[in-house]
Amino acid sequence: MKLRRYFLFETPFGICGLVWSESGLIRVLLPDEPARLEARCHALGAGPVQDEVPPAICDVTARLRAGFEGVPQDFSNVSLDWSEIGESERAIYSELRGIGWGRTTTYGALARAVGKPRAAQAVGIAMGRNPWPVIVPCHRVLGAGTYDGGFSAPGGVKTKTRLLALEGVAIGNQTPLLPGLFADTAPDKA
């Protein structure tokens, strides 16, 4: 097994985490309690960073913080460790990386884009398994008719709605919220 390290960091949404290997980013952990984040990192076989945080991880950290403040970000060039990702999910995640800030797609459209027009449910399963939320922007995938489609990260659909609102996207007939105007900035505890 490759050497894995993790780093927890503060964002406007709460404490997040990154797990990486020499091949790239393995996991993005959205806001949660530090003890739960550390437990998840240890379960992935990662230890805390021992020396300095590598420049590439510092860059991703800074860009995530900025994104959580509503500053448009493009993560399509972030190196990912694909070693535990199957071929079908790789195609889905690769296609999804092209859906930029403030844009959305649907499960069905993403399935069609990867050449599997009847695989919307498989796309939904892949979104639930996405190891790199925000970097691979699964929050930008909606059900038909702009239905939220769910979100498996801590905070669930509330987190998805907040991420989209930062990008100026409203789900259904909601009005987009301006960054920093959330009544409750802490995610729901799962």
What is the domain partition of the chain in residue ranges?
A: 5-68, 87-166
Q: What is the pLDDT of residue 50?
A: 83
Q: What is the mean pLDDT of residues 27-56?
A: 94
pLDDT, tens digit (0-9, with 9 covering 90-100), for 75-133: 999 999 999 999 999 999 999 999 999 999 999 999 999 999 999 999 999 999 999 99
Total residue count of the chain as it appears in this document:
190
**pLDDT band at 1; cut points 50, 70, 90:** low
Specify the pairing of strand 47-48 against strand 5-11.
parallel
Q: What is the mean pLDDT of residues 177-189?
A: 37
CA 154 to chain centre: 11
**pLDDT band at 160; cut points 50, 70, 90:** confident
CATH code given to domain 87-166 = 1.10.10.10
**pLDDT band at 143; cut points 50, 70, 90:** confident
pTM more than 0.75: yes
Bridge partner residues of 188 (DSSP):
none
pLDDT, tens digit (0-9, with 9 covering 90-100), for 17-37: 999 999 999 999 999 999 999
Hey, what CATH class is 5-68 in?
Answer: alpha beta
Residue 100 burial class via C-beta count within 10 angstroms: exposed 0-12, middle 13-18, buried 19 and up: middle
Six-digit token pair at 41?
């990192």
Which residues participate in catalysis according to the annotation? 138
Same fold, 5-68 and 87-166: no
Question: In this structure, are residues 169 and 162 in contact, taking their beta carbons and an 8 Å threshold?
Answer: no
pLDDT, tens digit (0-9, with 9 covering 90-100), for 119-128: 999 999 999 9
Q: What is the pLDDT of residue 158?
A: 78
